[in-house]
Amino acid sequence: MLLAESDAKFKYCPLLKTREDKLRFCLDRSGIVAAVSGFVRQRVVLYLWLVLAAVCVPGTALSASLPPPVEQSIGALLDLVQKRNASVNPQDFQSLLEYVAQAKGDARDIIPEGRIGGSGSVLHQRLNVSLSRIMHYCYNPATPNYLIFPSVLRLAGWYPGSDFVDKDPKPWLHLGKLDRPVALWGTGFEVNAPDSFGGGYYRYDVNRLIILTKLDGKNVLISVTKQKDKSSVGKKAVILDENNWSYFYSGINGLSKGLIGWADTFMYDSASVHVYIEDGPNQTSYMLFKWLRAGWMAMNFVHKDHINDGITRYANALKAILESDKLPDADELALRVHELSTMSDADLELKINAYAVAIENIAKTSPAMSSSEFQKVVEGGHYAKSLTREERVAAILVEYMKSRLGKTPLVDFPSVPGARPKAG
C-alpha cells in the first residue's frame, strides 16, 4: 500500500537528484514500501548492488566449519545468557571446551554457523598470563573494559542489579575452589570504537554470562554476551592513530566511510562466546566466537572479513596490554580509575581542553579529518564541548593508561610508580 506524499515519511537517496528520481520510503503499518517508478526502481536496485559490492566484498574462500556438537554447545550458551539464574549443566558445553582445548593455529579459516541473522568468525590465541590476571583486569567492575579493550570500545559499564556489581565483584576468587561450576549474570552497556571499514560507532546494551569451571583439572572461564536490543543510530567516527588508540567521535549521524555515509545505520544484533583455558603457569589460551548484524534498512552489510578485522584489533591490544610489564597492578589501576573518575569538573575541564587541542592538531594533518563537518567540531578546541562527562572521563582514563604502558598520551600525567610484575 502506497501512502500519499503528505502522509509519508521520506528517506532520500542523495545520488538521485530530481524529484521523480527520489527514492521514497513510505512508512505504514505493514512496514516500508518503496514508492518508485519502474525506471527509478532499476536505478535503485543498481545503487543497492553497488553498496553491497562496496561493503560486502567477500575475501578469500574459506571452507572449515565447526563440528555439530560444538555448534550445539554454542547455541546452548547463547540461550543460557538470556535466562538469568537458570540451571547450568556442564554437559551442555563439554564439546565446546574439548574443542578449544585441542585447537591449533589462529582459527581464522573457520566459518561458524550463521546466527542472529548475521555472519560469524572465530579467533584462537595464546596469552602468556594466568587466568587470574585476565579476570583481575577484564572481569573487574572497578576497571572499565574500555581500558583493556581500547581498540574496540569507547565506553562500557555495568547496570545495577548485575551479579558482577551486587553479588560477586571479585569472581577470580572462585578459581581456587571450583568443585562445581559458578555462573554469574549481568547487564551492561557498550559504545564501540570506530571500525576500519565503515567508521561508525553505536551505543547498545548487552546481557553477559560468565561460567567458571574446570576441564581435566584446568581452570576454565566461559564468557557469553548477547545484545539486548537494536543500538542507537550510528554516528561518524575516525581512526586517527590505531597504534596509539586515538579516535575522533563526531556526534554526527552517519558513517565516515563508504557509499551510505548519509544513512541511518544500526547494530541490529551481536553475540559472542569466549572460552579461556589455563594451560599452565602464566599460560592461557582462548577462543573467541563472534557474530554481528549491522547495516541500514534492516539489511546486513557485515561480512566475515569485517568481523575478522575487529577481533584482530581486539586480540592485538589485549595481548599487548595483559602481557606488558608496565601494566599497573589491578588494585592500583582501580584506585587510579576512581581518582580520575571523581575529579572535580574544574580539573576535568583542564585535562579535556588539553586533549581537545591535541585532537585538533592531529586533525590538521589527517586526510580522514579533512571534511568541513569534522573540522567544525574540532576547530578552536571546541571538541571538548561536544563530550559528556562520561565521555570526557573515558578519554582521560585511556590517556592515563597509554602513559603507563609507554605509549604517547595526548594529556600529561604526573609521574607514577612502577608497575608490579605480571605473574599471577
CB distance 419 to 325 below 8 Å: yes
Are 73 and 24 part of one and the same domain? no
Are 29 and 138 part of one and the same domain? no
Cell numbers representing residue 341 in the block? 573518575
Are 243 and 302 part of one and the same domain? yes
Are 216 and 88 part of one and the same domain? yes
Q: What dihedral do alpha carbons 359, 364, 365, 369 form, nearest 10°? A: 80
Cα distance between residue 193 and residue 158, in whole Å: 18
Are 279 and 130 part of one and the same domain? yes
Are 29 and 93 part of one and the same domain? no
Total domain count, the chain: 2
CB distance 193 to 201 below 8 Å: yes
pLDDT tens string, the chain, 424 residues long: the values are 444 444 444 333 444 433 333 333 333 333 333 333 443 344 444 444 444 444 444 433 335 899 999 999 999 999 999 999 999 999 999 999 999 999 999 998 899 999 999 999 999 999 999 999 999 999 999 999 999 999 999 999 999 999 999 999 999 999 988 999 999 999 999 999 998 888 999 999 999 999 999 999 999 999 999 999 999 999 999 999 999 999 999 999 999 987 677 899 999 999 999 999 999 999 999 999 999 999 999 999 999 999 999 999 999 999 999 999 999 999 999 999 999 999 999 999 999 999 999 999 999 999 999 999 999 999 999 999 999 999 999 999 999 999 999 999 999 987 654 444 454 5
**Residue 185: inside a domain:** yes
CB distance 224 to 77 below 8 Å: yes
45-86 pLDDT, tens per residue? 444 444 444 444 443 333 589 999 999 999 999 999 999 999
Q: What dihedral do alpha carbons 401, 232, 141, 402 form, nearest 10°? A: 0
Secondary element (H or E) of residue 241: strand 235-241
Cell numbers representing residue 390 in the block? 562520561
Are 32 and 120 part of one and the same domain? no
Q: Which candidate, 328, 337, 419, 318, places its Cα nearest to that of 157?
A: 337
Which of 268, 294, 326 represents a domain boundary (last residue)? 326
Are 34 and 169 part of one and the same domain? no
Q: Name residue, grid cell 551481536.
A: 270
Cα distance between residue 378 and residue 394, in whole Å: 18
Query: Domain range for residue 41?
Result: 5-55
AA identity, residue 84: R
Are 33 and 132 part of one and the same domain? no
Are 203 and 138 part of one and the same domain? yes
The neighbouring-strand residues paired with 200 are 236
Are 41 and 140 part of one and the same domain? no
CB distance 256 to 194 below 8 Å: yes
Q: What is the CATH number of the domain that holds 226?
A: 3.30.530.20
Q: Which residues contact 377 (CB under 8 A, 6 or more apart)?
A: 250, 251, 252, 383, 386
Are 17 and 77 part of one and the same domain? no
In the chain, count of helices (H) and strands (E)? 9, 13
376-401 pLDDT, tens per residue? 999 999 999 999 999 999 999 999 99
